[in-house]
Structure 1
Amino acid sequence: MTIPLFQLLLQKVGAPRASAAEYYVQKANTQLWSHMAKYSLSNIAEGVERLRNGSLDILIADTPILDYYRAIDDGCRLQKIGDTINEDTYAVALTKGHPLKESISRVIANYTSTGLLDILQEKW
């Protein structure tokens, strides 16, 4: 489901400042990005709180993090609407030459190839 732009511009829409979500909106639609500046957030937790207290209608943020907040939402008041804006991948960062680099890479590759990573993402 895609929400028409004119409907978004009638809503209080926010995203965390300097986040990937804000960047993607800025690239995709500068009019929406300018509108969202009125509802700028310092982080996703603030956005979830503002959804709950009614000072925000729509929160745009990373799907896995929003899925987490929906999973722990007491009373199931949070819902996901629309499509994913951009498929993105996540990474694990280590210092160069870290002794666990190879082990972590093997585990991630194994989880990916067996489908366990998808199962974990769906669960959490």
Structure 2
Amino acid sequence: MKKVLVFLMTAIMACSLLLTGCGGEEKKAEPAKVLRVGTEPAFAPFEFPKEGSSELTGFDVELIQAIGKQLGYKVEVSGMGFDALIPALNAGNIDAAIAGMTITDERKKAVTFSDPYYTSGLIVMVKKDNAAVKSIDDLKGKRIAAQIGTTGEMKARSVEGATVTTFNTQDEAALELKNGGVDAVIGDLPVMEYYLAKGGNKFAMTVGEKMEAEQYGIAVKKDSKLAAELNKGMEELKKNGEFDKLYKKWFGEAKK
């Protein structure tokens, strides 16, 4: 009798385990898709650390987060030097780069870009007491600072006889101007304007006209299908009004 009871108990437990493992099995939640994004975290108002925090914010950061949410991605943003972004993409260390990166023919040889999401341009910044420089034409033979790997550096190197010094960030280039190490800085207009608005106007000003309208894009690995996916997400944000909300938040007006 005891053997029969033991047998029955064993059979019941076995069935219970089978039911738990098969018909009664709960479906496990699929892990979220992760979008690894690289940026250069000293390019306000596009990307910069929140005050008192290492967490990044800015137009670019919030835009890629919104695109990722639209597409069902968990977005992980990490900071690195601007000149390290394209090598990181090609090495597979990140999936996308958003960092106020101008779409150029040279860069398109190495990466694939999304559709443009912002139109910028270059400007010259000098000290307020520098009456001799009124435009880029007055920088021949002068000392110019720019952020390394940017179109600002490219423009600076096109100036006849100029001595060009590059820095990891545009803020560092501006500090060199403040300390008298250079005569001017060439960089992206919206970044210069933000810098001046945040206190840089105490010693510096921009001069001349905006140069060379430039379009920013999100870079992905060469020929990656991710570019089309990002375009789809961005288009949805434009349709539902979220893109305009972000643009107005960071630039004071809706995108024209």
TM-score surpassing 0.5? yes
| Counterpart residue number, 2:135 | 3
Partner Cα distance (1:47, 1:62) in 2:
12
Alignment coverage as a number of residue pairs: 115
**Structure 1 ranges of 4+ moved more than 4 A:** 108-112
Secondary structure, in 3 states, of the residue corresponding to 2:178? helix
For residue 168 of structure 2, what is the aligned residue in structure 1?
A: 42
- The residue aligned with 1:86 is 212
Provide the TM-score with structure 1 as the length reference.
0.65
1:13 aligns with 2:140: no
Asked whether 1:60 is paired with 2:186, we answer: yes
Percent of paired sites with the same residue: 17
Hey, what's the Cα distance between the residues in 2 that align with 1:53 and 1:8? Answer: 18
How many Å separate the matches in 1 of 2:136 and 2:167? 23
C-alpha spacing 1:115/1:79, structure 2 compared with 1 (3 Å): farther
Work out the CA distance in 2 between the residues paired with 1:8 and 1:21: 14
Provide the C-alpha distance between the structure 1 equivalents of 2:237 and 2:202, rounded to a whole number of angstroms: 33
Structure 1 portions without partners, runs of 5+: none
Matched position secondary structure for 1:55? coil
Of 224, 231, 234, 1:104 maps to: 234
CA RMSD of aligned residues (A): 3.5
Q: TM-score normalised to the size of structure 2? A: 0.36
Greater fraction helix: 1
Greater strand proportion? 2
- Distance change >3 Å, CA 78–CA 111, structure 1 → 2: farther
Structure 2 residue runs without a partner (length 5+): 1-133
Computing the radius of gyration from Cα coordinates, the structure with the larger value is 2
Give distance in 2, aligned partners of 1:40 and 1:46.
Answer: 9
Shift of 1:14: 1.8
Counterpart of 1:121 in structure 2 is 251
1:14–1:41 contact (8 Å) kept in structure 2? yes
Shift, 1:104, TM fit: 2.7
1:30 and 1:75 mapped to 2: Cα distance? 25
Aligned to 2:160: 31
Q: 1:93 to 1:77 in 2, by over 3 A?
A: same
